[in-house]
Amino acid sequence: MKALNKMFAVSLVIVYPLLSACNNPKPVPAAITQAKGDVKYTCPMHPQIIEDHPGSCPICGMTLVKKNGQASKGAGITLGTVLQPVNSSVVSWVTAITPVQKSVDTEIYGDGYLDFDTRTFNNIASRFSGRIEKLYIKYAFQEIHAGERIFDIYSPDMVTAQQDLVYLTRNPAPESELLNAARQKLLLLGMTMAQVSQVAKTGKAFYSLPVYSPYNGHVHDTQHSQMAGAPATETPIDFAANQPLSIKEGMYVTKGQTLFNVVNPHSLWAIVKIDRSSVSALKLNQPVELQLPDIPGKNINGKVNFIEPTLQQGDKTTSIRVYVDNMDHSLKVNSLVKAKIQTGRAEGLWVPREAVVNLGQTQVVWLKKGAAYQARQVSTGTINGNYIRVTKGLALTDSLASNAQYLTDSESFIKIQGHEQ
């Protein structure tokens, strides 16, 4: 009997704490409560995939995203939404945006290079036939100045003309016009007034006549030699090939043959290629900022000085010219440049460029209709950085997908207003 009483007492000691714990349960943290089945994860491309933990979609492998409150309730997806044609409607949880109405400074970007300003090109040609006796220009790109002696030439025609002047000077004719005509002929053939006066005074002709440069600049070789009697045709000049001159001492040259090309290195121009879609916004005298990748921090301000009047066949760009001053010789021909052209201001609806997909002749955005996105054709205009102006087909209150290409299947056609694109 005593043993039974002792066992009953021990049982009460054990059971009583358990009953107290059941009557006074400890509070469960809120974080743990929320973690039990409230957070769901789904695939943006396959909404039928729903998991209670993060991971990857078993169909496409995309990272699962959290479903918001609306998505957990079905996001308004009905049977009619699911049954819409896939080439005109897409169900997706891609972020939706709205267009922005604003006025922005519009810019056009282009790439190009520096080149010689051909307006400064001057040819030195032989005014008479003869043989080069002495050449004072030794290499291409040699700098010369106006009045500098460049070569000596022997010409039988010039010797004869000088002898006529000597004869008329020593034997004055009744007609004074003959003496003036002889002087004028020598001047037109390239002799200077000092040389003509020296011939008349000394009575001795120049058998090796000095020829002087009428221009300032750098000498460039014409890279060709013409045969006597051959037509005066020139091959394109390769300024990068710094090779020996084609004109050498002892060579015979013909009347009218171009011997050298003198270029003024103080004046260059930038030839910039502009996409044809931006040609309509180009105008003369628009401000241009040029940047040279080869010279960090070097910016050149100019303006649109010339717009190419024709479009070259097979070329998707048009060219403009920007005149550049190079008095300090810091700029080099054929250097690459990047141009930014200020074309004014544009007022309208602007969306990110990723929100518009280009289908060739048609441009499309995806408008949000409930839980789905529907394709709509739009017209676009100016592109400014990462934004593009929509001129037709979009309202300020419309909601559209932030990434149109993401919703476009590359293997399908998009149907817009009864037409497939």
Would you say residue 233 lies in a domain?
no
Half-sphere exposure of 342 (CA within 13 A, CB side): 12
**Residues 128, 255 within the same domain:** yes
Structure confidence at residue 85 (pLDDT): 57
Q: Is it the case that residue 94 has pLDDT exceeding 60?
A: yes
Nearby residues of 38 by Cβ (< 8 Å), 6 or more positions away: none
Domain CATH number, residue 278: 2.40.30.170
**Residues 323, 408 within the same domain:** no
Structure confidence at residue 26 (pLDDT): 46
**Residues 129, 255 within the same domain:** yes
Q: Domain count of the chain? A: 4
**Residues 247, 132 within the same domain:** yes
44 versus 262: the higher-pLDDT residue is 262
**Residues 86, 139 within the same domain:** no
Average pLDDT of the segment spanning 258-280: 88
Structure confidence at residue 223 (pLDDT): 54
Would you say residue 45 lies in a domain?
yes
- Identify which of 347, 412, 414 has the alpha carbon closest to the alpha carbon of residue 378: 414
Would you say residue 236 lies in a domain?
no
Average pLDDT of the segment spanning 216-245: 54
Strands (E) across 353-404 are located at 357-358, 363-369, 372-384, 387-392, 400-401
Domain termination site, one of 301, 318, 344:
344
**Residues 141, 252 within the same domain:** yes
In the numeric block, the tokens 């209709």 are attached to 369
**Residues 131, 181 within the same domain:** yes
**Residues 146, 255 within the same domain:** yes
**Residues 322, 370 within the same domain:** no
Structure confidence at residue 286 (pLDDT): 92
Cα 50 from Cα 37, distance rounded (Å): 11
Cα 299 from Cα 318, distance rounded (Å): 23
Would you say residue 234 lies in a domain?
no
pLDDT digits (tens, 9 = 90+) for 23-60: 554 444 443 334 445 678 888 777 778 888 888 888 87
Q: Is it the case that residue 73 has pLDDT exceeding 80?
A: no
Would you say residue 253 lies in a domain?
yes
Distance of CA 286 to the CA centre of its chain: 16
Q: Is it the case that residue 226 has pLDDT exceeding 70?
A: no
**Residues 196, 218 within the same domain:** yes
Q: What three-state secondary structure class fits 286?
A: coil
57 versus 9: the higher-pLDDT residue is 57
Cα 291 from Cα 362, distance rounded (Å): 34
Question: Do the beta carbons of residue 179 and residue 227 sit within 8 Å?
Answer: no
Question: Do the beta carbons of residue 353 and residue 388 sit within 8 Å?
Answer: yes
Would you say residue 96 lies in a domain?
yes
Tokens of 267: 């004046």
Would you say residue 143 lies in a domain?
yes
368 versus 243: the higher-pLDDT residue is 368
Of 89-103, 158-172, 263-277, 298-312, the least confident: 89-103
**Residues 126, 252 within the same domain:** yes
Query: 314 falls in which pLDDT band (50, 70, 90)?
Result: confident
Would you say residue 362 lies in a domain?
yes
Domain that holds residue 62: 2-75
**Residues 304, 249 within the same domain:** no
- Angle 179-191-181 from CA coordinates, rounded to 5°: 20
